[in-house]
Structure 1
Amino acid sequence: MTGAGVPGEHPLRAAVKPLADAMGAELLAPSEARGDDVVLSWEGEQVVAVRLPHLADSLDHILGDLERRHGKPLAELGRKEKQTVVRILEERGAFSVRHGVETVASALGVSRFTVYNYINYTNEQRAKAHGGDERSRQDD
Protein backbone atom coordinates (compact mmCIF):
# COMPACT_ATOMS: atom_id res chain seq x y z
CA MET A 1 0.00 0.00 0.00
CA THR A 2 1.11 3.53 -0.60
CA GLY A 3 2.15 5.92 2.14
CA ALA A 4 0.29 9.02 3.38
CA GLY A 5 0.08 11.86 0.91
CA VAL A 6 1.12 9.69 -2.04
CA PRO A 7 -0.95 10.12 -5.21
CA GLY A 8 -3.42 7.27 -5.57
CA GLU A 9 -3.62 6.68 -1.82
CA HIS A 10 -7.10 5.73 -0.68
CA PRO A 11 -8.83 8.56 1.26
CA LEU A 12 -9.76 6.20 4.12
CA ARG A 13 -6.12 5.25 4.65
CA ALA A 14 -5.10 8.91 4.56
CA ALA A 15 -7.86 9.77 7.06
CA VAL A 16 -6.92 7.11 9.63
CA LYS A 17 -3.13 7.51 9.36
CA PRO A 18 -2.83 10.38 11.88
CA LEU A 19 -4.89 8.39 14.40
CA ALA A 20 -2.83 5.24 13.81
CA ASP A 21 0.40 7.23 14.18
CA ALA A 22 -0.80 8.80 17.44
CA MET A 23 -1.60 5.35 18.84
CA GLY A 24 1.54 3.67 17.58
CA ALA A 25 -0.56 1.43 15.33
CA GLU A 26 0.61 0.00 12.02
CA LEU A 27 -1.33 0.28 8.76
CA LEU A 28 -1.21 -2.78 6.52
CA ALA A 29 -2.78 -4.17 3.39
CA PRO A 30 -5.99 -6.06 4.25
CA SER A 31 -4.36 -9.24 2.88
CA GLU A 32 -1.71 -8.97 5.64
CA ALA A 33 -4.29 -8.78 8.46
CA ARG A 34 -4.18 -11.23 11.35
CA GLY A 35 -7.08 -12.24 13.55
CA ASP A 36 -6.71 -9.39 16.04
CA ASP A 37 -6.16 -6.65 13.43
CA VAL A 38 -8.99 -4.28 12.55
CA VAL A 39 -9.84 -4.26 8.85
CA LEU A 40 -11.54 -1.09 7.64
CA SER A 41 -13.80 -1.07 4.60
CA TRP A 42 -14.98 1.69 2.30
CA GLU A 43 -18.17 1.12 0.30
CA GLY A 44 -17.89 -2.63 0.79
CA GLU A 45 -14.20 -2.87 -0.20
CA GLN A 46 -11.54 -3.74 2.38
CA VAL A 47 -9.06 -0.87 2.24
CA VAL A 48 -6.68 -1.01 5.18
CA ALA A 49 -5.88 -3.18 8.18
CA VAL A 50 -4.90 -1.57 11.47
CA ARG A 51 -2.56 -3.49 13.77
CA LEU A 52 -2.88 -2.07 17.25
CA PRO A 53 0.22 -2.00 19.43
CA HIS A 54 0.60 -4.05 22.60
CA LEU A 55 -0.35 -2.08 25.70
CA ALA A 56 3.23 -1.82 26.96
CA ASP A 57 4.34 -0.51 23.55
CA SER A 58 1.46 1.97 23.62
CA LEU A 59 2.68 3.40 26.92
CA ASP A 60 6.17 3.91 25.51
CA HIS A 61 4.65 5.53 22.42
CA ILE A 62 2.46 7.84 24.52
CA LEU A 63 5.44 8.85 26.68
CA GLY A 64 7.47 9.60 23.54
CA ASP A 65 4.62 11.67 22.14
CA LEU A 66 4.31 13.66 25.37
CA GLU A 67 8.05 14.27 25.34
CA ARG A 68 7.87 15.58 21.76
CA ARG A 69 4.97 17.86 22.68
CA HIS A 70 6.91 19.35 25.57
CA GLY A 71 10.07 19.65 23.51
CA LYS A 72 12.30 18.15 26.18
CA PRO A 73 12.70 15.00 28.26
CA LEU A 74 9.81 14.50 30.68
CA ALA A 75 12.29 14.30 33.55
CA GLU A 76 13.15 17.97 32.93
CA LEU A 77 9.57 19.18 33.40
CA GLY A 78 8.47 21.09 36.48
CA ARG A 79 6.23 19.57 39.13
CA LYS A 80 2.98 21.04 37.72
CA GLU A 81 3.84 19.82 34.21
CA LYS A 82 4.62 16.35 35.57
CA GLN A 83 1.28 16.31 37.38
CA THR A 84 -0.43 17.18 34.10
CA VAL A 85 1.44 14.38 32.33
CA VAL A 86 0.32 11.90 35.02
CA ARG A 87 -3.29 13.11 34.68
CA ILE A 88 -3.16 12.58 30.90
CA LEU A 89 -1.61 9.15 31.33
CA GLU A 90 -4.19 8.13 33.93
CA GLU A 91 -7.02 9.22 31.63
CA ARG A 92 -5.50 7.10 28.87
CA GLY A 93 -5.22 4.01 31.09
CA ALA A 94 -1.45 3.98 31.44
CA PHE A 95 -1.55 2.69 34.98
CA SER A 96 -3.56 -0.39 34.08
CA VAL A 97 -0.51 -1.69 32.20
CA ARG A 98 1.80 -3.99 34.14
CA HIS A 99 4.68 -1.90 35.51
CA GLY A 100 2.96 1.27 34.26
CA VAL A 101 3.73 3.25 37.40
CA GLU A 102 7.38 2.19 37.31
CA THR A 103 7.68 3.04 33.60
CA VAL A 104 6.14 6.48 34.12
CA ALA A 105 8.23 7.16 37.23
CA SER A 106 11.38 6.36 35.28
CA ALA A 107 10.37 8.61 32.38
CA LEU A 108 9.54 11.49 34.75
CA GLY A 109 12.68 11.00 36.84
CA VAL A 110 10.67 10.57 40.04
CA SER A 111 9.88 7.77 42.46
CA ARG A 112 6.86 5.46 42.26
CA PHE A 113 5.67 7.12 45.47
CA THR A 114 5.68 10.50 43.72
CA VAL A 115 3.65 9.12 40.79
CA TYR A 116 1.09 7.74 43.26
CA ASN A 117 0.97 11.16 44.96
CA TYR A 118 0.33 12.81 41.57
CA ILE A 119 -2.44 10.29 40.86
CA ASN A 120 -4.02 11.01 44.25
CA TYR A 121 -3.72 14.76 43.65
CA THR A 122 -5.42 14.36 40.26
CA ASN A 123 -8.25 12.34 41.81
CA GLU A 124 -8.72 14.96 44.56
CA GLN A 125 -8.88 17.75 41.97
CA ARG A 126 -11.38 15.76 39.91
CA ALA A 127 -13.55 15.16 43.00
CA LYS A 128 -13.53 18.87 43.86
CA ALA A 129 -14.49 19.75 40.30
CA HIS A 130 -17.44 17.36 40.50
CA GLY A 131 -19.10 18.79 43.59
CA GLY A 132 -16.43 18.58 46.28
CA ASP A 133 -15.46 15.71 48.50
CA GLU A 134 -17.85 13.91 50.82
CA ARG A 135 -16.38 15.34 54.03
CA SER A 136 -17.07 18.95 53.09
CA ARG A 137 -20.68 18.09 52.15
CA GLN A 138 -21.21 16.30 55.44
CA ASP A 139 -19.91 19.29 57.40
CA ASP A 140 -22.54 21.64 55.87
Structure 2
Amino acid sequence: MDLEAEFTTEPFRAEAGGEPPAHAAQAAEQARKSGLDTTFGPLGTTVRGSSDQVLDALPEIFRAALAGGATRVTLRLGVPGGEDSAPAGIGSLERVIAEVEAELGGSLSSLSRADKQRAVRLLEERGAFEMRRSVPAVAEALGVTRFTVYNYLNRSGS
Protein backbone atom coordinates (compact mmCIF):
# COMPACT_ATOMS: atom_id res chain seq x y z
CA MET A 1 0.00 0.00 0.00
CA ASP A 2 1.20 3.52 -0.79
CA LEU A 3 1.05 6.40 1.66
CA GLU A 4 1.18 10.16 1.27
CA ALA A 5 2.43 12.41 4.04
CA GLU A 6 2.03 16.15 3.94
CA PHE A 7 3.86 18.11 6.61
CA THR A 8 4.54 21.70 7.49
CA THR A 9 7.30 23.03 9.67
CA GLU A 10 7.08 26.21 11.67
CA PRO A 11 7.89 29.04 12.07
CA PHE A 12 6.72 30.15 8.61
CA ARG A 13 9.28 32.87 7.99
CA ALA A 14 11.55 33.06 4.99
CA GLU A 15 15.28 33.49 5.34
CA ALA A 16 17.21 36.41 3.86
CA GLY A 17 16.81 36.58 0.11
CA GLY A 18 13.44 34.84 0.19
CA GLU A 19 14.94 31.41 0.76
CA PRO A 20 12.81 28.86 2.64
CA PRO A 21 13.68 28.40 6.30
CA ALA A 22 16.51 25.97 7.04
CA HIS A 23 14.19 23.63 8.95
CA ALA A 24 11.89 23.25 5.91
CA ALA A 25 14.75 22.74 3.46
CA GLN A 26 16.48 20.21 5.71
CA ALA A 27 13.29 18.19 6.18
CA ALA A 28 12.70 18.07 2.41
CA GLU A 29 16.30 17.07 1.77
CA GLN A 30 16.02 14.22 4.28
CA ALA A 31 12.84 13.05 2.54
CA ARG A 32 14.69 12.98 -0.80
CA LYS A 33 17.60 11.08 0.79
CA SER A 34 15.07 8.53 2.02
CA GLY A 35 14.08 7.87 -1.59
CA LEU A 36 10.58 9.33 -1.29
CA ASP A 37 8.81 11.15 -4.12
CA THR A 38 9.08 14.64 -2.63
CA THR A 39 7.28 17.87 -3.54
CA PHE A 40 8.69 20.85 -1.66
CA GLY A 41 6.93 24.20 -1.52
CA PRO A 42 6.67 27.36 0.52
CA LEU A 43 3.78 26.10 2.64
CA GLY A 44 4.67 22.46 3.11
CA THR A 45 6.22 19.30 1.78
CA THR A 46 4.42 16.26 0.41
CA VAL A 47 6.08 12.85 0.22
CA ARG A 48 4.83 9.62 -1.32
CA GLY A 49 6.04 6.07 -1.24
CA SER A 50 5.25 2.62 0.02
CA SER A 51 3.81 2.54 3.52
CA ASP A 52 7.00 1.02 4.96
CA GLN A 53 9.17 3.55 3.16
CA VAL A 54 7.13 6.55 4.36
CA LEU A 55 6.68 5.32 7.94
CA ASP A 56 10.37 4.46 8.26
CA ALA A 57 11.46 7.85 6.90
CA LEU A 58 9.21 10.15 8.95
CA PRO A 59 11.23 10.08 12.21
CA GLU A 60 14.42 11.11 10.38
CA ILE A 61 12.58 13.80 8.42
CA PHE A 62 11.22 15.25 11.65
CA ARG A 63 14.64 15.05 13.33
CA ALA A 64 16.11 17.03 10.40
CA ALA A 65 13.38 19.68 10.72
CA LEU A 66 13.93 20.06 14.47
CA ALA A 67 17.71 20.17 14.05
CA GLY A 68 17.18 22.95 11.53
CA GLY A 69 15.24 25.05 14.03
CA ALA A 70 11.61 23.97 13.60
CA THR A 71 9.45 24.64 16.64
CA ARG A 72 6.53 22.56 15.33
CA VAL A 73 5.92 19.92 12.69
CA THR A 74 2.36 19.23 11.59
CA LEU A 75 1.59 16.01 9.73
CA ARG A 76 -1.29 14.75 7.60
CA LEU A 77 -0.84 11.10 6.70
CA GLY A 78 -3.12 9.12 4.44
CA VAL A 79 -3.63 6.87 1.48
CA PRO A 80 -3.44 8.80 -1.82
CA GLY A 81 -6.99 9.31 -3.07
CA GLY A 82 -8.46 8.28 0.30
CA GLU A 83 -11.29 10.01 2.17
CA ASP A 84 -8.89 12.48 3.83
CA SER A 85 -7.63 13.74 0.48
CA ALA A 86 -8.65 17.15 -0.83
CA PRO A 87 -11.86 17.21 -2.88
CA ALA A 88 -11.38 16.33 -6.54
CA GLY A 89 -9.98 19.14 -8.61
CA ILE A 90 -8.77 21.20 -5.67
CA GLY A 91 -5.27 19.87 -5.14
CA SER A 92 -3.01 21.01 -2.35
CA LEU A 93 -3.19 24.50 -0.94
CA GLU A 94 0.32 25.13 -2.15
CA ARG A 95 -0.68 24.29 -5.72
CA VAL A 96 -3.77 26.52 -5.59
CA ILE A 97 -1.71 29.44 -4.27
CA ALA A 98 0.86 28.92 -7.04
CA GLU A 99 -1.94 28.98 -9.64
CA VAL A 100 -3.32 32.25 -8.26
CA GLU A 101 0.16 33.79 -8.12
CA ALA A 102 0.72 32.84 -11.76
CA GLU A 103 -2.65 34.29 -12.72
CA LEU A 104 -2.01 37.57 -10.89
CA GLY A 105 1.61 37.84 -12.04
CA GLY A 106 3.52 37.79 -8.77
CA SER A 107 3.88 36.45 -5.27
CA LEU A 108 0.85 37.06 -3.09
CA SER A 109 2.88 39.14 -0.64
CA SER A 110 3.95 41.59 -3.38
CA LEU A 111 0.41 42.34 -4.56
CA SER A 112 -1.49 45.57 -3.96
CA ARG A 113 -4.30 45.55 -1.41
CA ALA A 114 -6.94 45.29 -4.14
CA ASP A 115 -5.11 42.38 -5.78
CA LYS A 116 -4.73 40.63 -2.41
CA GLN A 117 -8.51 40.88 -2.03
CA ARG A 118 -8.88 39.46 -5.55
CA ALA A 119 -6.43 36.67 -4.68
CA VAL A 120 -8.55 35.71 -1.65
CA ARG A 121 -11.66 35.60 -3.85
CA LEU A 122 -9.85 33.38 -6.37
CA LEU A 123 -8.57 31.09 -3.62
CA GLU A 124 -12.07 30.83 -2.19
CA GLU A 125 -13.53 29.98 -5.62
CA ARG A 126 -10.95 27.19 -5.98
CA GLY A 127 -11.76 25.66 -2.61
CA ALA A 128 -8.61 26.70 -0.79
CA PHE A 129 -10.47 27.58 2.40
CA GLU A 130 -12.03 24.12 2.61
CA MET A 131 -8.57 22.79 3.52
CA ARG A 132 -7.48 22.50 7.11
CA ARG A 133 -5.27 25.35 8.44
CA SER A 134 -5.63 27.26 5.18
CA VAL A 135 -6.35 30.71 6.63
CA PRO A 136 -3.05 31.00 8.57
CA ALA A 137 -1.12 29.66 5.56
CA VAL A 138 -2.83 32.10 3.16
CA ALA A 139 -2.27 34.96 5.61
CA GLU A 140 1.43 34.10 5.70
CA ALA A 141 1.63 33.94 1.90
CA LEU A 142 -0.16 37.31 1.61
CA GLY A 143 1.93 38.93 4.34
CA VAL A 144 -1.19 39.91 6.32
CA THR A 145 -2.90 38.75 9.50
CA ARG A 146 -5.52 36.02 9.70
CA PHE A 147 -7.99 38.73 10.71
CA THR A 148 -7.33 40.48 7.39
CA VAL A 149 -7.96 37.27 5.44
CA TYR A 150 -11.26 36.81 7.27
CA ASN A 151 -12.18 40.42 6.44
CA TYR A 152 -11.41 39.80 2.77
CA LEU A 153 -13.52 36.63 2.87
CA ASN A 154 -16.42 38.49 4.46
CA ARG A 155 -16.22 41.18 1.76
CA SER A 156 -16.23 38.60 -1.02
CA GLY A 157 -19.33 36.95 0.50
CA SER A 158 -21.28 40.21 0.54
TM range (shorter): 0.3 to 0.5
Flag the structure with higher strand content.
2
Larger Rg: 1 or 2? 1
TM-score normalised to the size of structure 1? 0.48
TM-score normalised to the size of structure 2? 0.43
